[in-house]
Structures are given as C-alpha cells and as structure tokens.
Amino acid sequence: MNTYSEHDLREAFSSLASTEPAPGDVWGPVRSRIARRRRVRLGMATVGVAVAGAVVATLSGSGPGSDRVVPAGADTPARLTLAPVHALSPAEREATAQVLRQRLDAAGLGRVQLTVGADSVELVVRPSDLDLAGLLTERGDLQLRQVLAVSPDAGTGGVTGPIGTATDLSAATTLLERGDCAQPAPAGPPAGGADGAAAPPPGSYLVACDAASSLKYLFAPSALGSSAVTSARATLDPVARQWSVLVTLSATGAEAWHSLTAQAARQPSLARCSASPAGCNAIGIVIDGRTVAMPSVQPHGGITGGVLAIPLGDAPRVVAEGTAADLTTGTLPVRLNKVTACRAGCPADG
C-alpha cells in the first residue's frame, strides 16, 4: 500500500492555505457584525424597558388589558425571509408552497408558519430550527454526471464551484483548458442556468473548479436527476460516524444509474483519464450546481438495485436530513435567495 510523506502533507496544507483575502475583505464583514450586535443590544434594551413598563402597568391596574409584550428570549420565533429570482406566477406560488410544505412536514417542522407571496417567501420557526429551515429552501436539483476530464488550474485564488457550461464537447473542452477558476468564463450560458435556477442546464456539459486542490473538472451532461428520485433518507455510518443520504430511484432511474455506472466502471481513474475519450470512472453528484461528492465506480461493473448513497463527509445530521427532504419532494420551481435570517429579537413584521 502506498503512503504519503510528511512533506506531502505539508504541501497539501500549503495548497489549502494558498489564498489570502485583502484586509478590507475581513474588516468589512466583522465591522458589520459588530454594528448589528450594537443594534440588537439597543433593541433588547428597548424591549426590556417595555416589559418593565408593562409589569408596572399591570400591577397598578392602569394598563390596557389587550396589550401584549413579547419578551426577547428562547421562545421568540426566528424568521427566515427569501426572495425568488423573479416574481412568482400564481402557479409557481402554489407549487412553491406545496413543495415547501411537504419538505417541512418531512423534516418534522409541520407547524412552521409559511407565507409565500409573489416577491417573497417567509418562514417563522423556532430559533433552533432556523438552520434546517434554510436547508429546506434550497432548490433541490440533483444531477448525476460522469467526469470526463481533469485539468490543473494554473491560476491562484480560485473558487470552488461551476465556472461555465457548454452545449457541445468541443466548447466544453476549451473551457476546461482555458477557463480560469478565479474568473468564471464569460462565454456560454451562465453556469447556474439561464432561467435563474441554481443548477446548470442538465443537458449541457459543466466545468467546475475545486479551489482546495486547484483542479478543474469537466462533467458530461446529466444522465439522470431529481425526477428519477422516489425517496431519500438520511443515514449515519456507525463506524465512520459520517452522514450520508440514501436515495431510492424509480425503475427508469435505476436503469439509467446502472447504465451510467457500467459505462464509468470501464474507464480509467481520475488521475489517468484526461486522455481517455470516454472519460473517467468517477461520477459527479451535483446538487444545485455544487459537486457534493465524486465517488469512483469500482471496475466490476454497473451498480444495480436502484439505490444511490450520497456521502456528506463531515456534514452534521441537520444537513443530511435537509438534503434528504429536498430530494424526496422534488425541486422548487424557482430558486429562492436568502434575504434575511433573524434568529433572535426579530421585528414583528418581516
């Protein structure tokens, strides 16, 4: 079994830590957090005065009985506000509400207050459920794409994520060779899709960067995706103590998954496949444009049984449960962008 040296390990950490923000890039967000904390503290002080006033009024019998003052604290609901990338039509509003309600039910948040308007979506949740609620509002678009080629990125300070899509292999190969991970390619449709969706068009080739390893990947068009999923559930590997999502595919999906993995199994590994016309033995599992896993298929053939495991690495349980709920209920018709996530001391309206 081959091993790595201490030098290799130090080099790996050096490549992970090769990017550096300008000082202003750090100071700006930190200053914003400080300013926000000052505002929250001021707000809490105001509430405190109001509560004291209400207590005094009640004891003295002079206050109006219908007035209620809600103290800020653990029971104060959190509020998540999102904006669709374009105004929702009545049909899109209905579909968005239906998918979100199904996801909330599936995740055990059935009592969450959900409001879907043409220009905004709002969820009022317990503060402890705010992170899960955020995950449930992801678009939930799954794409399974074979890796066709790998190329080192010559630049520095690159991003992790898609840098472009192309409708034909020649253009995609050019993008792989010339695309700069620090500057997403201007040519071709946007990597996130022309309709404002987070996911790239499933029928296009996709080029994505991994900043940590300074590598670019070329992915084939998606062989199957969200429509092939019948259910998904979070599961914990008791040995590795890592969460993954087990996806059960429809009969058609299972057939497509077997074909995809059988084709990939015959190809060389990621380190040796750049010259291979039929690509590599790895499959990119892409959710909302992010490559969440890239498992290699063992050479003994395609995967049967119609079950797909998505490893989530260090992800906590809430991510696995949120992802499972997203995949079970299908995609949202339109991507929702987070506007505000207020965990404590939220204003009564929006």
Partner 1 sequence: MREETERDFREFVTARSGPLFRLACALTADPHHAEDLVQTALFKAWRSWHRVRSADDPDAYVRRVMVNAATSGWRRRWRGEVPSDRLPELTSSDPVDLVGDRDALVRAVRALPAKQRAAIALRYFADLDDPAIADALGCSVSTVRSQISRGLATLRVRTDRDCLSTQESM
Cβ-based nearer residue to partner 1, 14 or 62: 14
User: Is residue 34 classed exposed, middle or buried when 0-12, 13-18 and 19+ CB atoms within 10 A define those classes?
Assistant: exposed
Question: What are phi and psi for residue 336, nearest 5 degrees?
Answer: -110, 125
**Residue 52 or residue 240: which is nearer to partner 1 going by CB?**
240
Smallest distance, partner 1 to C-beta of residue 135, A: 9
Q: CA quadruple 65, 70, 75, 79: dihedral positive or negative? A: positive
For residue 26, the minimal CB distance to partner 1 (Å) is 4
Q: Of 145, 204, 152, 205, nearest to 181 (Cα)?
A: 152
* Closest distance to partner 1 from the beta carbon of 120 (Å): 25
DSSP-derived 3-state class of residue 182: coil
Q: With b meaning 16 or more CB within 10 Å and e meaning fewer, what string describes 47-62? A: beeeeeeeeeeeeeee
- Binding region for partner 1 (CB under 8 A): 1-6, 8-21, 23, 25-27, 29-31, 33-34, 37, 131, 150, 152, 160-161, 210-213, 215, 240-241, 269-272, 274, 282, 290-296, 311-316, 318-319
Q: Decide whether 150 or 171 has the Cβ nearer to partner 1.
A: 150
Q: Return phi, psi of residue 231, to 5°.
A: -160, 165
**C-beta closer to partner 1: residue 31 or 338:** 31
Task: Give me the least distance between CB of 8 and partner 1, in Å please.
Answer: 6
Q: Which is nearer to partner 1, 84 or 284 (CB)?
A: 284
Q: How far is the CB of 84 from partner 1 (least distance, A)?
A: 23
Question: Rounded to whole angstroms, how far apart are CA atoms 71 and 86?
Answer: 36
Q: Please list, residue by residue across 184-197, b when 16 or more beta carbons sit within 10 angstroms of its beta carbon and e when fewer do.
A: bbeebebbbbeeeb
Residue 25 vs 75, nearer CB to partner 1: 25
CB of 1 to partner 1, least distance (A): 7
